[in-house]
Every structure is written in structure tokens, then in C-alpha cells.
């Protein structure tokens, strides 16, 4: 079931830019800010730890009225848990960036003399060329069995 809206698309589309930005209220702290250049931004005003804050939701018409109301309701749920929605969004973005970055397990450096240095974090191991050849020979023998 979709939430009831106070604003209508026709009213928003009819809103014209003025010399100063102005707000069209949807209720529950949610409003559409109409800027002098004609851009329309969904924002939510709320209080956290006694301070008034603003939560940016998106740009109209990319974010519809119903999507903005759903975002407002989710932000209010986060507020009820004692968490600032703006900080929550920052933490979620940070966690997503960390998850999407593949972990760097080993780094290999090949030197001119044929040796290889393997580095993991602050530990490193350098293997000389003749030791590499011996290891490869041992591996070759063990794979033949």
C-alpha cells in the first residue's frame, strides 16, 4: 500500500522558481525545496541531539513523491533507534566501499636478478632465482605422482 501524499505532481510541476528558494511541505518534516534556478530537491528537516539538521533525499522528478515519503519514513525509523540518518548514510557508503574493494592479500615484485619479493602487509619474503628453480623442480616432481 502506498503512503498518502499531501503534494500532487501537478502542484509540483506548476511551481515556478522565484528570486529566493522556497519550500513546498509534504508533512512529517519532508519538503520540496524549489531553488531559483528551477531545481527541486527533496529534503527532510529533523532534530538530533537538540540540533536541527537536514537530510537530503534526492532531486524531483528522479525521486518521486512516494519514494521521498518512503525515504523519510526510513530516516525516521533510524532516528527512533537513536542514530543520526546523515551519519548512518555515511557509514553505509563507507562499508559498501570497503566491501567492494577486493582485499590485497599478496604483492609480488620481480627483481632484475630473477629473485622475487612477496609482501603481505608489513612482512616480506625474498626468494632467490636458484631457490625458485628448485621449488619449481620439486613441484614438478610432486605433480607427476
Task: Provide the β-strand partners of residue 24.
Answer: 32
Same domain, residue pair 20 and 81:
yes
Which residue's C-alpha cell is 506548476?
A: 14
In the predicted model, what is the mean pLDDT of residues 48-75? Answer: 93
19 falls in which pLDDT band (50, 70, 90)?
very high
Neighbours of 37 (CB within 10 A): 7
Q: Is residue 4 part of a domain?
A: no
Q: Are 20 and 32 in contact (CB under 8 A)?
A: no
Q: Say which residue, 108 or 17, is predicted with more confidence.
A: 17
State how far Cα 90 lies from the chain centre.
7
Give yes or no: residues 82 and 118 share one domain. Answer: no
Higher pLDDT: 35 or 96? It is: 35
Which residues, listed in sequence order, are joined to residue 47 by a DSSP beta bridge? 52
pLDDT of residue 57 exceeding 80: yes
CA triplet 67, 85, 1: central angle to 5 degrees?
Answer: 30
Quote the domain boundaries for residue 116: 107-144
In this prediction the pTM is: 0.63
For residues 96 and 122, state if they share a domain: no
The stretch 84-101 carries a mean pLDDT of: 85
pLDDT tens sequence across 115-144 = 888 888 778 888 888 887 888 878 777 776
Rounded Cα gap, residues 99 and 105, in angstroms: 15
Amino acid at each position: 500500500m502506498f503512503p498518502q501524499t499531501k503534494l500532487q505532481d501537478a502542484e509540483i510541476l506548476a511551481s515556478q522558481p522565484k528570486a529566493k528558494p522556497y519550500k513546498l511541505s509534504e508533512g512529517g518534516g519532508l519538503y520540496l525545496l524549489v531553488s531559483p534556478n528551477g531545481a527541486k530537491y527533496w529534503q527532510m528537516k529533523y532534530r538530533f541531539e537538540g540540533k536541527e539538521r537536514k537530510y537530503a533525499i534526492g532531486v524531483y522528478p528522479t525521486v518521486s513523491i512516494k519514494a521521498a515519503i518512503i525515504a523519510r519514513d526510513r530516516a525516521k525509523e533510524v532516528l527512533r533507534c537513536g542514530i543520526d540518518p546523515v551519519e548512518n548514510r555515511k557509514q553505509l557508503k563507507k562499508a559498501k566501499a570497503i566491501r567492494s574493494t577486493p582485499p590485497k592479500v599478496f604483492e609480488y615484485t620481480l627483481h632484475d636478478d630473477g629473485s622475487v619479493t612477496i609482501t603481505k602487509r608489513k612482512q616480506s619474503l625474498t626468494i632467490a632465482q636458484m631457490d625458485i628453480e628448485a621449488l619449481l623442480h620439486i613441484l614438478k616432481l610432486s605433480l607427476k605422482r
